Structure 1
Amino acid sequence: MSDSTIAAADSIGTKTNTNPIPQENPSALSSVGVVGKQFNPEGPIGSMGQAVGGPFAKDGMIGKQFDAGQDGLAGHVERMVDGPRNPAGSDKKI
């Protein structure tokens, strides 16, 4: 993804005042939230991609878009909700 989309996600994430401590009170959409954790490689949805393998595996072309620690689709959502694996305004992945 481009720097402008990362900046936009950071902007939204840093303005979130409903989640002051994302590690203790994660958003439902973050990688550790109720919805987001379903898409992790060990979650029920993410594990299907792992089982299929190839481009759907966690390091494949499609699967890596769902890794919240990277800058794919899930990474942008993680930044927008200031999640623990890719916090808003930080280039450091946890």
Structure 2
Amino acid sequence: MENLELFEKAPNETVREYAYRVLYENIMSLKLPPGTAMSEQELSGVLNVSRTPVREAFIRLSQKGLLEILPQRGTFVSKIHTEQLAEFRFFR
């Protein structure tokens, strides 16, 4: 997680929104490149939040197709598939 860029928490932002925003921005800017392994425990320590907001951010990001959650294996930044490239060029 040494490449992770941290941001200041906005005044009216919840911890859940903060964790999501930090992860989303780092994935979209490729500071967390595709295939990067993610750990709830490690991220909660880096962000100085509990594991619950990080877990909720993981779920939201996986619903958007940005993370792959593989039970008993780990959580990884999704790889960019060539068939989705045209769609993702507007996101990343």
Query: Normalising to structure 2: TM-score of the pair?
Result: 0.28
Instruction: Report the TM-score when normalising by structure 1.
Output: 0.28
